[in-house]
Amino acid sequence: MDIQIWTYIIVGITFALYIGIAIWSRAGSTKEFYIAGGGVSPLANGMATAADWMSAASFISMAGLISFMGYDGTVYLMGWTGGYVLLALLLAPYLRKFGKFTVPDFIGDRYYSNVARTVAVLCAIIVSFTYVAGQMRGVGVVFARFLEVPVTTGVYIGMAIVFFYAVLGGMKGITYTQVAQFCVLIFAYMVPAFFISIQLTGNFLPQLGFGSELSDGSGVYLLDKLDALHAELGFAEYTSGSKSMTDVFAITLALMVGTAGLPHVIVRFFTVPKVRDARKSAGYALAFIAILYTTAPAIGAFARTNLINTVSDQEYASVPQWFSNWEKTGLISFDDKNADGKIQYVGDAEKNELTIDRDIMVLANPEIADLPNWVIALVAAGGLAAALSTAAGLLLVISTSLAHDLIKKQIKPDISEKAELIWARIGAAVAVIVAGYFGINPPGFVAATVALAFGLAAASFFPAIILGIFDKRMNKEGAISGMVVGITLMLFYMMKYKLQFFGGGTAADWWFGISPEGFGSIAMVVNLVISFVVSRRTPEPPQNVQNLVEDIRFPRGAGTASDH
């Protein structure tokens, strides 16, 4: 059977599964809609968190990025896993004990201020929208390549599916579809990795194959071979990379702290019954995420080796079928500069004749390695699962922010439960449509704003939450001034160096040699310092708030989350 028929079958089965779960787990109350009734088991929540977290970027782009960046790709691997340690140790248990529905809920109550709540709502919405646009785009690209429908149609299909289970089931529907999506995506990621690891090194576990000898009988280690190929072709050494140490440090920190401050991740820990479960499910979540994240660098190295071996110095006329397939999409292009009919793929930009979009490596990898058609179809279903699960989690944050944090908490506090639920559904529906619009008409700054999402979360939420838990003396003056200065500084730096506003600038002008991607860590430190200094010069928080801080430090008495 050809790839397209396999893809229709596998994608069709998985979509039917998601819809079935959505119908089975409809939400009947706001509590079910916002936090799945608060009765999710830690294991199920761990899987759902992992699916929520691993987006189209993790599934489709990350291994490709690493395969082109080598050691420098470490920033994503450590940055997007290490944040869970912070989350489990410093945030999740306390926020669970606090026991409300959303992150702005915590900020608003802890800092006894609707200004703080509104700032938090705005941050949550900006962060979530920048993220979700990328997910819908990912859905469109997968459809376009594997089912040969236009990207726009792909986005419509994705919207319809997410609409169905997010609007109908809220957090409850999303949680159980995410459990299914985790299983689909991890299976789809691992199967080709096992195949390729065996092909290249004879060791079926990619985590070990990555450090093994090549199975071609040469007795050379895979990574040594890769370093040698890179040296020969004039690329930076694979295992050393080319970014400065300061920048690698700053980006890793910004991504870790940003991870721990992302509202769609934090809110998942409100769905478990106990504080103890919140700690444990953070552990499960990271364990499930680690399966993919320790495989990704192996895939990166395998793909890089296979790619160089397949295309470097080969006759253009005799390239394999996958090369021509991707050429049609414009994601691979060849320009025979010296007209010798061969592909020169080298580090020197003047002589290099091949341009490859980094995003295609995971999708093209099974084809490059000549794996069976059903494996390629499986990868398509996995990419869709990753994109849809993350999109749904983000849409829920947007809908909750509107219905709960704005309408219920600020505009119309006496709204009935039923009316609030209707607003939550309207919010989710509007968010799906807006996200779809951005998926079809991606703004040019998407790439820039994804990094911005992490920087923003690091510069705003993270310090405000941490200080709210660990510093009893922190007051609203300190937290609000810290958040405002942190975000403003981050926005300024991103606009200046990413969008060339305020006079712009190049890498040479970066402050302390830190790229915009890593600047979130500086903005976070500035936020912490300002919060601290301002809070010590203004009145201490009221006694009832100090009691609240005292209370969240001890697990006993954490009923399921409630609405006062």
Give the footprint of other proteins on this chain (CB under 8 A): 66, 71, 73-74, 77-78, 81-82, 84-85, 88-90, 93, 207, 210-213, 221-224, 239-240, 245, 248-249, 252-253, 274-276, 279-280, 282-283, 286-287, 290, 293-294, 297, 550, 553-558
Q: Which CA distances in Å does 441 have to 25, 137, 152, 434, 446? A: 33, 9, 9, 10, 11
Contact 362, 331 (CB under 8 A): no
Structure-derived torsion over alpha carbons of residues 305, 307, 310, 311, reported in degrees to the nearest 10: -130
Taking the complex as a whole, how short is the minimal distance between the CB of residue 332 and other proteins, in angstroms?
Answer: 26
DSSP 480-496: HHHHHHHHHHHHHHHHH
**Burial class (CB within 10 angstroms; exposed 0-12, middle 13-18, buried 19+) of 235:** buried
Query: Smaller CB distance to other proteins: residue 470 or 511?
Result: 470
Query: Smaller CB distance to other proteins: residue 537 or 556?
Result: 556
End-to-end CA separation in angstroms for the chain: 58
Taking the complex as a whole, how short is the minimal distance between the CB of residue 66 and other proteins, in angstroms?
Answer: 8
Q: How many CA atoms lie within 13 A of 209 on its CB side?
A: 26
Query: Smaller CB distance to other proteins: residue 183 or 291?
Result: 291
Taking the complex as a whole, how short is the minimal distance between the CB of residue 68 and other proteins, in angstroms?
Answer: 14
Taking the complex as a whole, how short is the minimal distance between the CB of residue 135 and other proteins, in angstroms?
Answer: 24
355 three-state secondary structure: strand
Taking the complex as a whole, how short is the minimal distance between the CB of residue 256 and other proteins, in angstroms?
Answer: 8
Taking the complex as a whole, how short is the minimal distance between the CB of residue 253 and other proteins, in angstroms?
Answer: 8
Query: Smaller CB distance to other proteins: residue 429 or 548?
Result: 548
Query: Smaller CB distance to other proteins: residue 308 or 494?
Result: 308
Query: Smaller CB distance to other proteins: residue 331 or 558?
Result: 558
Taking the complex as a whole, how short is the minimal distance between the CB of residue 193 and other proteins, in angstroms?
Answer: 14
DSSP 241-284: -SS-HHHHHHHHHHHHHHHHT-HHHHGGGGSSSSHHHHHHHHHH
Closest Cα to residue 136, out of 365, 362, 433, 425?
433
Taking the complex as a whole, how short is the minimal distance between the CB of residue 484 and other proteins, in angstroms?
Answer: 28
The 3-class secondary structure across 185-227, one letter per residue, is HHHHHHHHHHHHHHHHHCCCCHHHHCCCECCCCCCCEHHHHHH
Annotate 329-339 with b (16+ C-beta within 10 A) or e (fewer): eebbebeeeee
Taking the complex as a whole, how short is the minimal distance between the CB of residue 415 and other proteins, in angstroms?
Answer: 32
Closest Cα to residue 324, out of 383, 378, 368, 382?
368
**Burial class (CB within 10 angstroms; exposed 0-12, middle 13-18, buried 19+) of 550:** exposed
Query: Smaller CB distance to other proteins: residue 213 or 517?
Result: 213
Q: How many CA atoms lie within 13 A of 555 on its CB side?
A: 10
Query: Smaller CB distance to other proteins: residue 240 or 324?
Result: 240
Query: Smaller CB distance to other proteins: residue 484 or 548?
Result: 548
